[in-house]
Every structure is written in structure tokens, then in C-alpha cells.
Chains A and B, each alone.
Chain A
Amino acid sequence: MSALDQMAQLVRLLPVQRAGAGLVLAALGLPVVGVVIVGLDIMPVRFAMMHVALLGIAIGQLAGLDPVLCALLACAVAGAGVAPLARTPDALSGAMGLLMSLAIAAALLVLALSGVNANGAFALLWGSILAVRPSDLAVLGTLAVVVPALFVWRRRDLALLLHDRELAICSGVPAQRLTVLLLVLVAVSVAGAIRLTGALLVDALTLLPALAARRLGRSLGAITLWAVGIGVVVNATGFLVALGWDLPPGPVLVLAAGAVALVAHLLPERGAGSWRALDAVAPH
């Protein structure tokens, strides 16, 4: 059976269709979250949120609540909690590291208290794209609407905030409130993506398209559009290739996104023509 036949056969299955829909929805919201992560320079956030999610799961198991819901809530609270430290990018990165250590320690403590097997809690972190449930699609769909909508509505404020916090403050941008909102969105998105697609895929869906777009776009608007475009193309092709050649979707998607990011970094920087060349044109 050729790869194409296999692909055609597989896409008729409901879980595969759901996974495909999930990936397309994810490509609309998560790369934009990646742009925020790159813009605020908080790459370690995904590790921190993974540990916080684990803490949420542990608390959920101890209290007998839905562990996934607890993980999302814990991440949202943690995201809002570190926001006051966002005055300088260094402080925020450091806070993420601290949060990570505290969360894993607390999670292990809670797991020991609740007497459940720690492996059971860890297993919830390794989601699979083919196990996507309708409720997960709802989370992804909400993010696919909310995140781009925020970017359209507050475009000016976001561009200023990600460029220079002090300039934004002096231009009347509610920097503190906007940072809290962004960090909560980042935290919830990362937690959601980890649960849906496994920890490895989070990079493919959020960071890598944003890193590639950062090289290709010259303004926040252009970077956001590039990130979403790259996300959609990478997710669709990566998923079809995984189906056709019977490969695990997670690694294929990461490799595809990574290849795009690599190519973007090897391209000569667009529009970086020296300002000297421009000086001749500018009237003085």
C-alpha cells in the first residue's frame, strides 16, 4: 500500500480527523503565544509550566478533582503570580526557574501525601495527538479565537510592550495588566498543549514557528502572521507525512518546524539593508 493510500484511509477515521482539527486549531493560537514567549524572552516558561501542571495534577488527585482542570488552573494562577516580577526580563526568567524548582518539590510532596503512584501523575503529561477529546478541541478552539483576537484588538499596546516596557508605560499602555493577561494566556496555552500533544510537541506548536517568524517579519503584525502561517503549514504537512509513513506525529512535527526555523535563520536577514545606504536617500 502506498503512502498516499494509507494517508487517504487513515484520514477517514474519527480520531485522526479530530487530531487534524486539533492541530489546525492549535496552529491558529499557539504560534501567537510563541511570539509572546519570544517577545518577553521567557523561553524557560514551558519547563516551569510543565512542573506547575504536575503540581496541579497532584493536587487534583489528592482532592479527588479532575486533574487536567486542576493543572490548567494551577498554571493560570502561577502565570498571574509571576507577573509582578516582569518589570525586567532577567527577573522574569529567574522567577521561572524558581517557580520550576518550587513546583516540582511541592508536586512530589503532595504526591507522597496523597499516596498515589507518581508515575500515574507523570503519565498525564505525555498526551497524544491521537487521543484528543472534544473537550480538548474546545480548549484549543477557544485559544484559537481569544489569542489572535487579543493581538488584533491591542496591536499597538502589544507592539510597544514587547519592544520596550518603559516606552510602553510612558505611552499609556497598561503594562502591568497586559503582562498578567499575556502570562496567564501563555501558561494556560502551554499547559493545554502539553496535555493535548505531549511535552515534546509544545515546542513545535508554539516556539519554533515564532522563532522562524521572528527572523522573517519586521513588525509585530508581520511576525504574528508569519508564525500562524508557518504553524498551519508545518502542522498540516507534518501530520500527513506522519500518517502516510506510519511515523509518530510528535517528533515529525518538531523536526518539520525545526527545519523551517533553521532555514529561516540561514536566510539573509530581510530588510536589514545598512542604514548607511539609506542615509544617502534621507534628506538632511
Chain B
Amino acid sequence: MVCRHGRLEAVGGVDLDVAAGQKVALTGTNGSGKTTLLRAVLGLHRQVDGGILVGGRGCRSAAEWAWRRRACAWIPQRPAPGRFPLLAGELLSSGGDLPEAVRAARRLGVGSLVDRPLSSLSGGQLQRMHLARAVGCVAAGAGVVLADEPTAALDFAGQEEAAEVLTGLPVTLLVVTHDRAMAARCDRVLEMAAGRLREVS
């Protein structure tokens, strides 16, 4: 498949097959198209040629997109603090399973912050909150987790903990990361350069 930003080809001729339950790390230089690839799966990037199937299903109708977004939990890169206040608890409940997400938040050390607006959290706390939300998505039935540098803002202990939580989930995982420890926990490591993909291990 091919993704464009205007005339610029961000992802070119990527052909990737991920088996169910596989953990895949996506590494590569900045600007090589990793984030665009993940966003294309969720339909957040629209200039896409070619097809993306999740669980054998493509996306033509709104109902199919709705299924795709339920099936794929997303951890955004540098989660935006947002334009308008949102409570951390509201973020957790948006994943579909609030109790499970709150449990994960406690495990990740941000359980006491659920009543706070997201704008008052630090970058690392926000990232932990998004990870907890993804755990809630999985509890609500998501079979795929698309994580975009989920440990970039975390301290060393936090990186370890987040990698453990993420790779411990019973799902197919596609994680963009520059963190060697995270990559080492995955079944496959792919490297992206200038929009092309190559298998590393």
C-alpha cells in the first residue's frame, strides 16, 4: 500500500502480513513513515492507495470503519493535551471498559489521577493513561493494539513496566518504537526507511 501527504509519498509499496497474536516492532528513522502507516490502519490518514485488511476485513462502509476502530486500540504518538478539558476518567471510559482501564491505571501508577483533567498531567502520566485506556479497549474486545512510541515520554522504570503491560496483552501488537528493550520483547522487528519496510529479525 502507498500513503501520501499531498504530493509527498510517505509510505511507498509496503506489503506487510502480520499473523494474529504476533508482536511486531516497527523501528526506523524519524520521518520514515511509521506513524502514517499506523494512522492509515485506523483511517486517520486518508490518502491511501492499496488495501488494509484487519481480521480479513476491509473498510468500505461506515459500519466496517466502526468495526475496525473497535477492533484496533490506538495509543497516539505524543498524546495531545487537547483543545478542551477532558477528565482522565473520561479518557479511560472511552476505551469501552472503565473498570479494567482503571485497574491498569493503578498498576501503571496513575490510578490516583483519574479525576484530574488531562491538561494537568505530565507527558509521562498522559502516556501511562493512554496505555491504561488501550488495556480497557482490549478488555472491551479489541484484538489489535497499534501503539505509536508508547514509551517515549516514560522514565526507565516506566518504559520497562509499559513494555511488560503492552507485550503481555493477548492481542496482535504493532508498536512503533525506538526503545531497544521494547523491540527485544517483540516476535518480529521491522525497519522502515524512506517509506519502505524491511525485516530485521
Q: Once the chains bind, are B69 and A170 in contact (CB under 8 Å)?
A: yes
Instruction: Say whether, besides A171-B95, A172-B69, A284-B109, A156 and B90 are in contact (CB < 8 Å).
Output: yes
Q: Once the chains bind, are A169 and B85 in contact (CB under 8 Å)?
A: no
Q: Compute the total of residue contacts between A and B using a CB distance below 8 Å.
A: 90
- In the complex, B19 has a CB within 8 A of chain A: no
Q: Once the chains bind, are A282 and B83 in contact (CB under 8 Å)?
A: no
A272, B120: Cα distance in complex, Å: 6
- In the complex, A218 has a CB within 8 A of chain B: yes
Q: Smallest Cβ distance from A41 to chain B, in angstroms?
A: 6
- In the complex, B50 has a CB within 8 A of chain A: no
Q: Once the chains bind, are B82 and A163 in contact (CB under 8 Å)?
A: yes
A275, B13: Cα distance in complex, Å: 44
Instruction: Say whether, besides A170-B42, A282-B112, A217 and B69 are in contact (CB < 8 Å).
Output: no
- In the complex, A219 has a CB within 8 A of chain B: yes
Q: Once the chains bind, are A275 and B70 in contact (CB under 8 Å)?
A: no
Give chain A interface residues in 229-284, CB to chain B under 8 Å. 271-273, 275, 278-279, 281-284
A170, B76: Cα distance in complex, Å: 10
Tally chain A residues at the interface, Cβ within 8 Å: 32
Give chain B interface residues in 98-141, CB to chain A under 8 Å. 109-113, 116-118, 120-122, 125
Q: Once the chains bind, are B109 and A170 in contact (CB under 8 Å)?
A: no
Q: Once the chains bind, are B76 and A163 in contact (CB under 8 Å)?
A: no
The 8 Å CB contact of B120, one of A220, A275, A281, is: A275
The 8 Å CB contact of A172, one of B70, B84, B117, is: B70
**Contacts beyond the supplied A160-B90, A163-B84, A167-B80: 19 A-B pairs with Cβ under 8 Å:** A39-B83, A89-B83, A163-B82, A166-B76, A167-B76, A167-B94, A169-B42, A169-B43, A171-B96, A219-B85, A220-B84, A220-B85, A220-B86, A271-B120, A272-B120, A281-B112, A283-B111, A284-B109, A284-B157
Q: Which residues of A contact B (CB under 8 A)?
A: 38-39, 41, 89, 156, 159-160, 162-164, 166-172, 217-220, 223, 271-273, 275, 278-279, 281-284
Q: Would you mind naming 21 contact pairs between A and B with Cβ atoms under 8 Å apart? A: A38-B84, A162-B84, A163-B86, A166-B76, A167-B80, A169-B69, A170-B42, A171-B94, A217-B85, A218-B116, A219-B87, A220-B86, A271-B120, A275-B120, A278-B112, A278-B116, A282-B110, A283-B109, A283-B111, A284-B109, A284-B157
